Chain A
């Protein structure tokens, strides 16, 4: 097991180096001049040059690159110009916000999609199968920001059930002391139940938005893979041996159908983490997606590089976790590994 993890991590190193080089070059190749942007609306040429010098953009590209990698080796991701903060600290603060939202969204999505997919597979052609098809198609074809806005409009603006879409907590609550960075967990640790409820109620709409969007791949994959497994020989044998339908479906078929679903889940998770930019924008969520996009718009190199690098590391770790999970679910994979 440990050797496998070690091996996998070794393989990840070249790709990480590649990511560092490519993001560096890509951000420099972007059109737009950060010095002109940050010199302000009333700057003349000299002011722009002064800013350029201060930011170190007057140096040759190769020197900038070595300085960047040297800083990176010390864990210094540089400073964001738009927010004025060190990128490492910003990502550390914002990643839990995005992760909490994405995880909850994914959980909600799983809670709906898995039963829906299983039911649809056990009764193909029935109303539940059609319901599954319609909801997933609708969910994936509605743009996230649109679903988000509609939800805000109905549940906040019209009905007033949901709190104001103002980020992770109501403005009059203070954030709990950081332990995990997940407000739901931290408020419980701090035994601040009012804040916990505020955090939870702030989370409902955005995570629902994400869930609606990610229903489709999970439900469809569950359905397809369940159908394949249900048609296989061992299920027929199980049925013929007189096992109850529940045991057949849950214990035998479902466990075997899980592998492709897990793969899809990992993809959906990493995809959501990057793609919830729009949800973050709609709900004023202080996550890393909106952070990266804002940085990109203003040619702010450091956060973009930091974001891509963080995402690359996350992908590597996520893939590793999924591979380990495979082994847990299916012993055959363990043997081959």
Chain B
């Protein structure tokens, strides 16, 4: 080798070693990048099957994209022109035809639907999957029961391609409940083959791999690190998705997620602090979508069984003492819908959530407190869930400051995430902030869980009022019977009662925020607030 050539090759090697990584990407890699969606988020799934024990919310996203349901929702134009699921319109996903009778609904399956392993989707799979959902216990079974779907006998195989769901009773929520994530259709033969005696529903198997017919299938999952999903080219549930491959990486640091987005390395992220979203919105380099949680409210709850909050006057005083606007500006950076300060002459609507007529008025609060016999204030504790400390902590500090003006001494109690639900269940915290949002977007659904005297986990205030129960039950019966007049009166009355009695003070309707590159389009808002990859387009 000549000396000159040698030098050339050496410098060449050196240059290669120094060049930044993207420069040596082969064309194939660049192609892969344009067909791949890179999502970064804080947490990842702990189970790929929503029927599993303790599947977390990121796990729902996998289930939604990798499994099909009989039916799904149509899209409509939502706030800001973003596609928003249409609560009232259904379309077939595995079903090509839905026939609603008086006490049952019949589905005809699409003939060419196949599971990922090539087995055709048959009625026995649907029956087995729905049986599974109502039988495994825990969250899935609970969610099914919200639509009065409780017994395997309700699911009937008519023939190989037809399934009938019998109603246990008339319930407006039965059909919407068949379009949520839980009633997904699982490859029954495959799972049964891998099920054991101790685990008849094969939950251990589907925890690790997807066995559905959905638009994507998980090809690699490293818990806590990444999920890789490939498109199922045989999917018949809808138009073939544009994204071939989804790489979902867990990046715990919010600052890094933002840096990854701004550098253009990641395509989509959510779960960032509000301040970041607001700044990214302002800078205009990325598309930021902010949409209100359907049927969701952040509120301040009070334990109505213990003094001083057993006195409605004290509760009203509290509702006047909350620094609503400060919370909107300083905590949420405007990224929420206010649920306070409605004009005094505004009529109550048949809708939920809707704003209260309370707004910050310290004089009124003071007067009400004096009337209740607490002119000098009292001492109490305000608790919040540390998992959402980014919002909860400043919110509680603002409330604490404001209450101090009335002589109310508040201590802030930070509850670790693992503890929060236990604490809520005990129903002993005097004052706390929390958020509730229902998958099914119906006022009576929200009220049934949050205000009804059957005292579910979410009636965190321990609120019991016979009048309230009568109105909520009335609305549910009226909805099932299609009696619109009674339904409307009942809904309006229970909203009025909830605002007059104020066991909980609505603050705002939170937003779900998603930031994405400008070349990503097709984002859709779903009731579960997770991403639907099937509609996303890159480039």
* Chain A residues with CB under 8 A of B256: 149, 152, 165, 282-284
Let me know if B223 and A160 touch, CB within 8 A.
Answer: no
- A43 and B422 CA atoms in complex are apart in Å by 11
* B-facing residues in A164-202 (Cβ within 8 Å): 164-167, 170-172, 194, 197-198, 201
Let me know if B416 and A172 touch, CB within 8 A.
Answer: no
The contact of A40 among B139, B224, B260, B422, by CB within 8 Å, is B139
A294 at the interface (CB under 8 A from B): yes
* Chain B residues with CB under 8 A of A330: none
Let me know if A48 and B425 touch, CB within 8 A.
Answer: yes
The contact of B223 among A36, A42, A90, by CB within 8 Å, is A90
Number of A-B contacts (CB under 8 A): 159
- A286 and B207 CA atoms in complex are apart in Å by 20
The contact of B21 among A33, A93, A163, by CB within 8 Å, is A163
Total chain B interface residues with beta-carbon distance under 8 A:
56
B457 at the interface (CB under 8 A from A): yes
Let me know if B32 and A172 touch, CB within 8 A.
Answer: yes
Q: Nearest-CB distance from A41 to chain B (Å)? A: 8
- A161-B20, A163-B21 given as contacts; is B138 within 8 A of A297 (CB)? no
Interface residues of A (CB under 8 A from B): 30-34, 36-45, 47-48, 50-51, 54-55, 80-85, 90, 93, 149, 152-153, 156-157, 160-161, 163-167, 170-172, 194, 197-198, 201, 281-284, 286, 290-291, 294, 297-299
* Chain A residues with CB under 8 A of B456: 44
* Chain A residues with CB under 8 A of B52: 84
* Chain B residues with CB under 8 A of A47: 137-139, 141-142
B143 at the interface (CB under 8 A from A): yes
Let me know if A54 and B252 touch, CB within 8 A.
Answer: no
B12 at the interface (CB under 8 A from A): no
Q: Nearest-CB distance from A283 to chain B (Å)? A: 8
**Nearest CB in chain A to that of B28: its residue:** A172
- A160-B20, A282-B256 given as contacts; is B457 within 8 A of A45 (CB)? yes
Let me know if B225 and A201 touch, CB within 8 A.
Answer: no
Q: Nearest-CB distance from B369 to chain A (Å)? A: 34
List of 8 A-B pairs having minimum Cβ-Cβ separation, nearest first? A38-B54, A83-B223, A32-B418, A40-B139, A299-B418, A50-B137, A32-B419, A36-B421
Let me know if A43 and B47 touch, CB within 8 A.
Answer: no
Task: Give the dominant DSSP class at B's interface.
Answer: mixed
* Chain A residues with CB under 8 A of B263: 156-157, 160, 164
- A148 and B21 CA atoms in complex are apart in Å by 21
A-B contacts, 5 listed (Cβ < 8 Å): A38-B53, A41-B421, A164-B266, A166-B251, A284-B253
- Chain A CB count within 10 A is highest, among B33, B57, B251, for B251
- A160-B20, A166-B260, A171-B38 given as contacts; is B56 within 8 A of A82 (CB)? yes
- A38 and B418 CA atoms in complex are apart in Å by 9
Let me know if A51 and B54 touch, CB within 8 A.
Answer: yes
* A-facing residues in B409-428 (Cβ within 8 Å): 416-419, 421-422, 425
* Chain B residues with CB under 8 A of A170: 21
* A-facing residues in B454-500 (Cβ within 8 Å): 456-457
* Chain B residues with CB under 8 A of A297: 416-418
